[in-house]
Structure 1
Amino acid sequence: MRLLLIHQNFPGQFKHMAAEWAKRPGWEVIAIGRDTAPGLPACPELKLLRYKPHRPIRKDQHHYLRRMEDAVLHGQAVARILLNLKKKGWRPDAILAHPGWGETLYAKDVFPDTRLVHYCEWFYNAPPNRDLSHIDRADWPYADIGFDPEFPASFDDYARIRSWNALHLLNLHNCDAGISPTQWQKAQHPAEYRGKITVAHEGIDTENLGPDPEAQFKTPSGVVLRANASKQPVLTYVARNLEPYRGFHTFMRALPAIQREHKNLHTLIVGGNDVSYGSRPKEAKNWKEKMLAEVGGQLDPARTHFLGKLPYEHYKQVLRVSSLHTYLSYPFVLSWSMLESMATGCLVLGSDTSPVREALRNEENGLTVRPLDCTALAKRAGEALARPTAQLQLLKRAATQQVHERWPRARGRWAVEELFAQPSSRSS
């Protein structure tokens, strides 16, 4: 089996799959990633070819088209590598790619008979451009755009994302098959293309995730927090970056009330100060700074610990000492961190939005709360922290069992391998 993996930020979602396939007897795996991609240094068996667009986006490019110009530049750069591989006589049996930056725009022009499988992570699915304030956000039938009334979408936003979807439509047309991590993400794509898409989550490291009753975590200030310490509970919040898309503003507004009710509670906040989704605040350098300016005076700094981005092993210890873990996402891509927290045995309090409900069911394997409602969040968190331990253990065990059954890495890998085995259809 000759397999080509393409990801702008390789390995991205393909990390564990790539490592497994590269070591498999009879498989020859080559990866393509941008010059800035981290790669897989722990897997020397895998050959990584790097590319770089030959120029930046033109400064005078229309802002609706900047993403498409960038995609063409990425596609050209990858096509040059593909043409060189073909010239050397190397032809892949299958290509697995994240096409979100345009890397595979011309892959079928180089290898028309090779099966192209796309990781269909996202399709912009904006609501109608009219007043939707009457819709309960827990019943919101759309995706992220326009979801948060605090940040209303403009006509320019609607026009821009409609233009951005042109790339995703080309990707859907070009590929032979697609995979989406969740049913909800698949459902965001146009109905006429959903038949191409299989739901196959890449999985999480369930083998190395689970509760540890002896777990400890030492804060930068020297406080040692322990798992199952009822007299010193731990509230946790995790995101790649602290921003509204992952409910950081709602969390921070609820935190003063939670701290007032639980005098010994410590809060561990994990995440950077960059922007993964959305935009930076206008009045501050980052969302941490903005929210501290708004509510910081109401918080106990000795019990509020901002940890930044952590090494993975330290991050796991944060989850293992958690008494209550919050996951407050917009209707958007489901984070690995939510599944990892469930697998670790956390009691998860999640926003009552469609993608979260796909994994987290209220009073079955966790708790949910109305999205964007800091008052409801404070109340729900306070109630959860006061509940009998036996009730909480049932929810936590159910969460751990479900994730270990539904989202192991091997299950996602097998689903993708089945797609490789099917015949290719030539793109028109």
Structure 2
Amino acid sequence: MRILFLNSVFPGRFRSLAQAFGASQNNTVLFLAETGQKLAIPGVRRLRLAPPAPYESDDPAEKEIVTRLRRGARAGNALLSLRRNGFIPDIVCAAASMGGSFYVRDIFPKAFYVAQGDWFYNNGESHCFFTRGNPRPPADFAPLRVCNLWEYNALGECQLGVTSSLWQRAQYPPALQRDIKVVPSGINTRFFMPGEEKKDGDATGDGVADSWGCASNELVTFCGPMHDPARGFDQFRKCLPRLLELRPNCLVVLAWLDIAQTGRKPGNGADTPSECSETGKAMRRAVDILGIDQSFRARVHLLGARSLKEYRAMLQHSTAHVYLAAPHVFSTGLLEAMACGSLVVASDTPPVREVVQDGVNGFLCDFWDHENMAQKLADVLARASQLGHVRRNARQTVLRSYDADVQTRRFMDLISASMKDRAEG
């Protein structure tokens, strides 16, 4: 078969699926993307797509629609070039939201079109989360409604629409929702797994703590972009003074760049971001306003970019890992921590509750209540040696529902069954 992937980032969400299709010598697999990791996937040929020319406008909605139309036009021209050169795909797998797939159905009308739905914006909990439930001005929704146009187009034209979680599917209108299948994002559970010392559920953070010369067996970790309010960096830093007061032997590590999510190359491994980088300066300012006593500063460490193995080691040594997410989509960082057997303290928000059951495979805390967050963390640290069953349940949750190999096979079976139904219908 001939399979075409179309996404703004290579390989992004389609990595496992592209690997699976590329593994067969009977398949010809092309991947069209603007940016992404510098890696080679066996059996997959990457084609670069020029990003759309920037468009400036005082109207955010106008800027969104023109940018995405330009992206669609550039992608459309690339697809026309493929067609002229004789490449007619049997399957097209494309992201629904960014505009690149706008002309897929027109250019390859006979291809089986799989659209990956990202997010459908509405005026519900997600839209009003940061106003604490208070309405936002009507104009705030204009650029978001523009984003929905591409979801409508892709999911209305495709033969198979998928999204990654029940929470994401629930955001779509009923007319689209009933035809969308849920295929969770999977992770490599053979890579993300507990370290040797954590398999009995009694591990603490002493190995990492010792590397900084700090006599502590309580390590709290947090990973995520500090510039994204939806990932809760501000909420976590506000809980630190109280947490450090409650647990005098606690060590805190904040990873300001989640290397596992971005795919960027690791830097020089400094424990503090470069003062020359904007991210480093912003993180330094954030630490300066933590509001903690100077005597606590030695117990808060900032990590520069680390390799994937170092990121995994941090999760494996963590006594408690904090994961916060607004009611949007959750990243695979939550799954990676759980697969490593971390005691996860996560935000009590709908996308997280789909994965984490309080007291069963992790713990939930109020996204907004930093006092509650500090107390929950302190309680977990105090009982860490008794919570081996929670660690094991966390990993079992990921093995059961979020293993990349399992979900990729399920995705491929879903495509095969849908193609068969289409042929017979």
TM-score range, shorter chain: 0.7 to 0.9
- Within 2, Cα distance between the matches of 1:211 and 1:250? 28
For structure 2, the 5+ residue unaligned runs are 199-204, 263-277
Is 1:266 the counterpart of 2:266 in the alignment?
Answer: no
Q: How does 1:107-118 map to 2 (within 5 A)?
A: 107-118=104-115
Which of 23, 45, 48 is the aligned partner of 1:47?
45
The answer to whether the 8 A contact 1:6-1:31 is kept is: yes
Query: What is the Cα deviation at residue 15 of structure 1?
Result: 1.6
CA contact (8 A) 2:95 2:115 kept: yes
Q: Deviations over 1:142-173 (max 9, x none)?
A: 22x22123797443312332233222222222
SS of structure 2 residue aligned to 1:272: coil
Matched with 2:151 is 168
Task: Assess if the C-alpha contact under 8 Å between 1:217 and 1:224 holds in 2.
Answer: no
Letter matched to residue 74 of structure 1: R
Match of 1:223 among 212, 219, 227: 212
1:148 paired to 2:130: yes
The change in CA–CA distance for 1:245 and 1:298 in structure 2 (over 3 A counts) is: farther
Q: What is the match of residue 139 of structure 1? A: none
CA distance in 1, matches of 2:335, 2:289: 31
**Residue equivalent to 1:257:** 242
**Which of residues 92, 100, 118 in structure 1 aligns to 2:89?**
92
Query: 1:238 — aligned with what?
Result: 223
* C-alpha contact (below 8 Å) 1:113/1:425 kept by paired residues: no
The answer for the alignment partner of 1:37 in structure 2 is 36
Partner Cα distance (1:8, 1:182) in 2: 21
Deviation at 1:416, TM superposition (A): 2.2
1:270 and 1:113, CA in 2 relative to 1: closer, same or farther beyond 3 A?
same
Partner of 1:310: 306
**In 1, Cα distance between equivalents of 2:344 and 2:228:** 19
Say if 1:320 and 1:346, in contact at 8 Å, map to a contact too.
yes
Match for 1:402 among 374, 397, 405?
Answer: 397
Question: 1:372-420 CA distances to partner (integer Å, 9 max, x unpaired)?
Answer: 1101001111111111622x11111111111111111122212321343
Q: State the number of aligned residues.
A: 395
Over 3 Å counting, the alpha-carbon distance change for 1:236 and 1:388 in structure 2 is closer
Q: What TM-score comes out, normalization by structure 1 length?
A: 0.85
Paired with 2:5 and 2:401, the residues of 1 have a C-alpha distance of 25
Q: Which residue in 2 is equivalent to 1:183?
A: 166
By how many angstroms is 1:94 displaced?
Answer: 0.7
* Aligned equivalents of 2:390, 2:313: Cα separation in 1: 20
Contact 1:219-1:305 within 8 A present in 2 as well = no
Q: 2:363 aligns with which of 342, 364, 367?
A: 367
Instruction: Kindly state the Cα deviation for residue 307 of structure 1 after the two structures are TM-superposed.
Output: 0.7
Question: Whole-Å Cα distance in 1 between the matches of residues 227 and 155 of structure 2?
Answer: 32
Measured at CA, do residues 61 and 248 of structure 1 come closer, stay the same or move farther in structure 2, by a change above 3 Å? Answer: closer
Larger helix percent: 2
Task: Work out whether residues 242 and 271 of structure 1, in 8 Å CA contact, stay in contact via their aligned partners in 2.
Answer: no
Give the corresponding residue for 1:21: 21
- C-alpha change, 1:255 and 1:94, in structure 2 (3 Å) is same
**1:223 alignment partner AA:** W
Matched residue, 2:61: 64
SS of equivalent residue, structure 2 residue 21? helix
* 1:66 counterpart SS class: helix
Q: 2:317 aligns with which of 318, 321, 327?
A: 321
Task: Give CA deviations for 1:104-142 in whole Å, capped at 9, x if unaligned.
Answer: 100111001111111112111223xxxxxxxxxxxxxx2
- Give the TM-score normalised by structure 2: 0.85
Q: Does 1:120 align with 2:105?
A: no
Amino acid at match of 2:317: V
> Aligned Cα RMSD in Å?
2.8
> Aligned equivalents of 1:63 and 1:242: distance in 2?
20
Cα shift at 1:235: 0.3
Is the Cα–Cα contact under 8 Å of residues 6 and 98 in structure 1 kept in the other structure? yes
Distance 1:256 1:151 in 2: 28
